[in-house]
Amino acid sequence: MATAPPLETVGFTFSPQPPSYEEAMSSPYPPGFVQPPPAFSKPEQGPYPVQPYGPPTTGQVVSVQTVYVQPRVVFGSQPVQTHCPGCMQMVLTRLEHNTGTMTWLTCAGLFIFGCFYGCCLIPFCVDDLKDVTHQCPNCSTVLGTYKRL
């Protein structure tokens, strides 16, 4: 006795096509009829087209970073409030006075005009004649410098 494979499995998985699929794909309009685009334009939104950002993107992912775009900070002889890239905080810069060109020129000028005995070293004690380095008070990152000359 040969046991034939059950033939019922061929027709077992057969499921009739859902009639709604064919009807859904076929346009309710007769062939050749151009379906008018749906009118989504709202006259209340003005003449500007509603568009998210610039030209339409082609599926590329634009990574958005939180970047502080602040006006250019002018580092002077006074502390300025700026954003520190080191600790990512708004800080008031700490000043550090360093000997700069202005200090040496003033020293040389005083020396030429007769201030020999130590008086020409006065500029090295005057902060207004020194260059200023702006540092972050938290992480000591140099945020900018101000040079007298």
User: Does residue number 88 form part of the binding site for Zn ion (CB under 5 A)?
Assistant: no
H or E stretch covering 143: strand 142-146
Contacts of 53 (CB under 8 A, 6+ apart): none
- By CB under 5 A, name the one of 77, 78, 81, 138 that touches Zn ion: 138
- By CB under 5 A, name the one of 75, 82, 84, 132 that touches Zn ion: 84
What distance in Å separates the CA atoms of residue 78 and residue 57, rounded to the nearest whole number? 46
User: Does residue number 95 form part of the binding site for Zn ion (CB under 5 A)?
Assistant: no
Site string for Zn ion, 97-136 (x = CB under 5 A): ---------------------------------------x
Q: Which among 18-26, 63-71, 82-90, 118-126 is the span making contact with Zn ion, rule CB under 5 A?
A: 82-90
Write out the two tokens for 98: 């360093």
Report the nearest approach of Zn ion to the CB of residue 87 (Å): 3
Beta-carbon count within 10 A of 13 CB: 6
Q: Which among 35-43, 51-59, 65-73, 139-147 is the span making contact with Zn ion, rule CB under 5 A?
A: 139-147
List the Cα angle 32/38/44 in 5-degree steps: 155
What distance in Å separates the CA atoms of residue 58 and residue 110, rounded to the nearest whole number? 68
Helices H / strands E in the chain, number of each: 3, 5
Report the nearest approach of Zn ion to the CB of residue 76 (Å): 19
User: Does residue number 144 form part of the binding site for Zn ion (CB under 5 A)?
Assistant: no
Residues forming the site for Zn ion (CB under 5 A): 84, 86-87, 136, 138-139, 141
